[in-house]
Amino acid sequence: MPAPALIAIDWGTTRLRAWLMAGDGSVLAEHRSDDGLIEAQKKRFSTVYATTLEKLQAPAGLPAIICGMAGSRRGWIEAPYVPVPAPLSAVLKEAARVPQPGADIRIVPGLAQTTPDAPDVMRGEETQLAGAGLPVEGTHLVCMPGTHCKWVTVENGRVKTFGTWPTGELYALIAGQSILRHSLGEPPAAVAASSPAFAEACRTALAEGGDFSARLFSIRAGTLLNGLSPADAAARLSGLLIGAEIASALLHLPPLPARRVVLIASGPLAGLYAAAFTLAGFEVRSVDAEAAVRSGLYEAARQNGMVA
């Protein structure tokens, strides 16, 4: 087995994923926990970090590279945002050092867009982007679904512009807490990417320029008047929100040279977004989000001279 050389941590708001890596980036051990920002604020970041090393059975003194909310104002230390446009490699190099005696721990900064009409921020997704294997040349549209879905335009290795659509959060709130919860079931029924109800709602929303509010209540009325099933109700809500997001993003982002997207996702969202993009006439290249963040963390360590 190759020697351990690096700790890599994706430290988000609610979750933490950590890997012990060899010098070539291969994974030797993995640890996942719910000690994200929120828990770490209670337990202290250095305590959660020590537990993580223990769980990984990491030898003492290894350098560590971190991305995500641990670098926010409410995090371990603040790794100040890098303003876009910015080359991804330069972003990684700005990793901020955690003042921990005897340890080389650095946190990758997030990105900020300071244009007055579309201010935006991201933390963690810049590392996924850096690890997604985008060709250095050309213009690429990247979509990263999640609680706050990020859309990014990358031009010749530089992040040009980006936007956030909080579709995951809207879905959770509407499905779990609005009047529609009576239609979707409690907990909400799961949605299959192959569902005809998903496709139909998605097509409708793709044609309506990002507006979904007009169609929400028809899901409730569908239950009351037509016996719409919980599975179909959930599929319609999901199709509506994802279709509207794609339509909205295409209106707000710079015009594209081609209908081609890099989709960085994992779990059920990967299938739902791939299906929605296909309905929108897009050619989709899918990248696993977890593999991307791991590669991005390794690349950040390399750029900062933490591994050879």
Residues within the interface to a copy of itself (CB under 8 A)? 73, 81, 112-114, 118-121, 148, 163-167, 169-170, 173-174, 177-179, 208-214, 216-218, 220-222, 224-226, 244-245, 247-249, 251-252
Q: For residue 150, which of 273, 295, 9, 276 has the smallest C-alpha distance?
A: 273
The nearest distance, CB 283 to a copy of itself, in angstroms, is 23
Q: Which residue lies nearer to a copy of itself by CB, 154 or 175?
A: 175
Q: Which residue lies nearer to a copy of itself by CB, 63 or 166?
A: 166
First-to-last C-alpha distance (Å) of the chain: 18
Q: Which residue lies nearer to a copy of itself by CB, 83 or 267?
A: 83
Q: Which residue lies nearer to a copy of itself by CB, 155 or 200?
A: 200
The nearest distance, CB 148 to a copy of itself, in angstroms, is 6
Q: Which residue lies nearer to a copy of itself by CB, 11 or 162?
A: 162
Q: Which residue lies nearer to a copy of itself by CB, 92 or 174?
A: 174
The nearest distance, CB 228 to a copy of itself, in angstroms, is 9
| Contacting residues for 252 by C-beta, under 8 A, at least 6 apart | 118, 163
The nearest distance, CB 80 to a copy of itself, in angstroms, is 11
The nearest distance, CB 70 to a copy of itself, in angstroms, is 16
The nearest distance, CB 5 to a copy of itself, in angstroms, is 35
What does the H/E/C string look like for the chain?
CCCEEEEEEEECCCCEEEEEEECCCCEEEEEEECCCHHHHHHHCHHHHHHHHHHHHCCCCCCCEEEEEHHHCCCCCCCCCCEECCEEHHHHHHCCEECCCCCCCEEECCCEEECCCCCCEEECCHHHHHHCCCCCCCCEEEEEECCCCEEEEEEECCEEEEEEEECHHHHHHHHHHHCCCHHHHCCCCCCCCCCCHHHHHHHHHHHCCCCCCHHHHHHHHHHHHHHCCCHHHHHHHHHHHHHHHHHHHHHHHCCCCCCCEEEEEECCHHHHHHHHHHHHCCCEEEEEEHHHHHHHHHHHHHHHCCCCC
The nearest distance, CB 170 to a copy of itself, in angstroms, is 7
Q: Which residue lies nearer to a copy of itself by CB, 29 or 170?
A: 170
Answer yes or no: are the C-beta atoms of 132 and 57 closer than 8 Å: no
Q: Which residue lies nearer to a copy of itself by CB, 41 or 114?
A: 114
The nearest distance, CB 40 to a copy of itself, in angstroms, is 17
| Contacting residues for 304 by C-beta, under 8 A, at least 6 apart | 65, 92, 93, 95, 106
